[in-house]
Amino acid sequence: MGTWGTGLYQNDVACDIRDSYMGFLREQLSNQEAYEKTLEKYSKCIGDEEDEPLLWFALAETQWKVGRLLPEVKTKAMEWIEEGGLIALWEKSTIGSVGWKKTLDKLHGKLNTEQPKEKKIRKSVVLDKNLWNVGDVYAYQFNTEASKGLNAYGKYILLQKIGEGKHLLDEVLTRIHVFDKLLDNVPAIEDVTKIRLLPFRQRDKEGSLSMNGLVDLFKKGDYPVNFLTYVGNVQPPANKVFKELHPPSPSAWKFIEEQLCYKLKCWHDVEYEMIEEGVFKYTPCGL
């Protein structure tokens, strides 16, 4: 369980359970069906002294909020509250134990009040996050204040889709790499050659570089359609995807310019070389 605070949803288990239950409701399942599917999906939580209390707390709070609290869910949540569910995790932290107790007291009070009227849950709108075809090249035009300090405002940088991938959810995302060159105009597809790639991040202390990454789209309006110009489709150069136990979080289309500026600032004047197909290496300063 990943935890970053004493709030009910300041841990990944409660967040996942809340989101899954609401996702089933948005699929227009009945409350009973959404409840049963959530239990089925998180069956491994049952019997786990850390995860099971969070299962019932998250279900109870979420069901109460949308006017669908089931008696058995309330009963389970109350039983765990009375047992001080998860308080042992915070025993070594005075502030933490006080904070978690406040969270449980607040939940206890909420569940003992009349729940709101049942709220209408709108059907989910499926958002296509897997943009472009493999090999597609787009020119992105810098347009924010962040790019002016890099003398990039109004100029273009090339992005290319090299594949697809998944992060934590089952959604298929677009995997791109970025060509390290600022352009005054949108080039012809034939000119997209022999431009080195811009690193996405340093992979390890030895200087191995990840040269590509996933890009996520959280809502349709985040996609910068007005600043992307299609250049064409060409076979992408070799660009190895590292297999990692904890892959980095995807970049976001909403903040793509901010992220491109950061990558340019970090890597534009740094020398690095290919050491094998798709793998680059550089020598960190001072080494």
Cα distances (angstroms) measured from residue 233 to each of 191, 192, 236: 12, 10, 9
Look at residues 161, 267, 268 and name the one whose alpha carbon lies nearest to residue 214: 161
Give residue 260's pLDDT band: very low, low, confident or very high (50, 70, 90): very high
Look at residues 11, 14, 129 and name the one whose alpha carbon lies nearest to residue 61: 14
> What tokens were used for 91?
């025993």
The 8-class DSSP code of residue 11 comes to B
The string of pLDDT tens digits covering residues 195-249 is: 888 888 776 666 678 888 899 988 888 999 999 999 999 988 777 776 665 567 7
Neighbours of 254 (CB within 10 A): 16
For residues 49-62, give the mean pLDDT: 94
- Please, what is the average pLDDT of the chain? 86
Cα torsion at 27, 28, 30, 32 (round to 10°)? 10
Chain centroid offset of residue 181 CA:
28
Contacts (Cβ under 8 Å, ≥6 apart) of 118: 66, 67, 68
Look at residues 175, 182, 120, 126 and name the one whose alpha carbon lies nearest to residue 154: 182
Q: Which of 9-23, 63-77, 190-204 has the highest mean pLDDT?
A: 63-77
For residues 165-191, give the mean pLDDT: 88
Gap between the Cα atoms of 153 and 270, Å rounded: 21
Write out the H or E segment, with its range, that includes residue 65: helix 51-65
**Is it the case that residue 190 has pLDDT exceeding 70?**
yes
